[in-house]
Structure 1
Amino acid sequence: MSFSKNAWEIFNQSINDYHIADHVDTPINNPFQKDSLERLLYAKNWIDTVQWHLEDIIRDENIDPTEALKLKRRIDSSNQQRTDLVEFIDSWFLQKYQNIVPASDARINSETPAWAIDRLSILSLKVYHMFLEAHRESASEEHRTACTAKLNVLLEQKEDLFEAIDQLLYDIENGKMKMKVYKQMKMYNDESLNPILYQNVRNDQTKL
């Protein structure tokens, strides 16, 4: 089985496990061996799945503003965890390919393996939920038809992404592609970089 197909199965296992309880506070029960790539992939998708549903909840027009703010903070934290885990997965690949010497004419890809995997994880959630909409009995026939058409596009995108990810890994393994990783350096959660945050820290220190 190709890497991408194996990752897809792990993502769908995570999604199905989440929907047993279907609650954002359900604790993760990762079934894969510690330090394995499979365990990282499962954890990655679990974060994405929980965040998918947090994003649904916060769009409720009748949500209490205080609760919405709490959810916004939680989504921000989830985004940071997602980024950290993607970068950790890239570190896993960097270690795996550390002895590969790229060819003199090796190219560099605009996207690292882990960020491509991130796209595949999100796509697995889109496919899962679009499938539900395409078969939702309470929806109109027009709605189901439209969602079936969208589902077909997502499934085509899945096959293209399978090919792109597997080709990228093959090219890295064979020295045709250089693997280079840039940290995301997100600024909005950093007290030293976000003006609102570091002004608040400065104000709090002034009050001491």
Structure 2
Amino acid sequence: MALLLIMVSQNCNKIFEQVITDYHQFNDIDLVPQNPFQTGTLENLLYDKCWIDTAQWHMEDEIRNPSIEPGAAVQWKRRIDKSNQDRTDIVEVIDDYFYTKYQNIQPKESARFNTESPAGAIDRLSILQLKIYHMREQAERTDISEEQREKNTTKLDILLQQREDLSLAIDELLEDIEKGDKYMKVYRQMKMYNDPDLNPVLYKK
């Protein structure tokens, strides 16, 4: 496998870890991220993508507060909806990056289509990094029983193995695309509920 391809998942994981660390220095959903990477680069997109995921993770915590006021719950739900749209949009931009990168690769006649795009897998890797960070917090708690800590540690071990497996799968997918053994397409999510022309509740107003 080419060194460049090996570095793709490593680069993703490194940036995602950096984002999560940067966010938790302030732990502020409203904080505007200071993306350290040059605009237009894959690294810049990965940083922004994981920041969206990290902020949304904490929005999801807030809306599950059993004492939340109904009005506040509606506000959080709308913020989560917008964040989901932002997340979808940037995943598509990341796929555009890879599609452009490999557009001159001629697929072999035997080339197969992969059900998941590179950015779709990278999206899952970003969320997985968040799960790892927060499960590690739970595994290191001192205010819970030893039994609960062991359960959390077991879950953390599984998440770490998932990260290893998913990282390998991403690199292998990109290698297959580069060698012409697989080809990719860029599909748009075509979310309907946020579109005032497609959501009947919105266009009938």
Find out whether 1:22 has 2:44 as its counterpart: no
User: 2:71 matched to which residue of 1?
Assistant: 66
1:67: how far off? 1.0
Structure 1: 5+ residue runs without aligned partners? 201-208
Letter of the structure 1 residue corresponding to residue 185 of structure 2: K
User: 2:3 matched to which residue of 1?
Assistant: none
Q: Runs of 4 or more off by more than 2 Å in structure 1?
A: none
Greater radius of gyration (CA): 1
Please tell me the root mean square deviation across aligned C-alpha atoms, in Å. 0.8
Find out whether 1:187 has 2:192 as its counterpart: yes
User: 1:45 matched to which residue of 2?
Assistant: 50
User: 1:89 matched to which residue of 2?
Assistant: 94
Alpha-carbon distance in 1 for matches of 2:51, 2:102:
26
Alpha-carbon distance in 2 for matches of 1:139, 1:47:
30
Secondary structure of the residue aligned to 2:58 is helix
User: 1:170 matched to which residue of 2?
Assistant: 175
Find out whether 1:10 has 2:15 as its counterpart: yes
Alpha-carbon distance in 1 for matches of 2:43, 2:147:
39
User: 2:141 matched to which residue of 1?
Assistant: 136
1:107-146 residue pairs with structure 2 within 5 A? 107-146=112-151
Identity of aligned residues (%): 57
1:139: how far off? 1.7
User: 1:102 matched to which residue of 2?
Assistant: 107
Alpha-carbon distance in 2 for matches of 1:2, 1:17:
22
Instruction: Report the TM-score when normalising by structure 1.
Output: 0.94
1:137-156 residue pairs with structure 2 within 5 A? 137-156=142-161
Alpha-carbon distance in 1 for matches of 2:176, 2:77:
40
1:3: how far off? 0.8
Alpha-carbon distance in 2 for matches of 1:141, 1:52:
27
Letter of the structure 1 residue corresponding to residue 35 of structure 2: N
1:72: how far off? 0.4
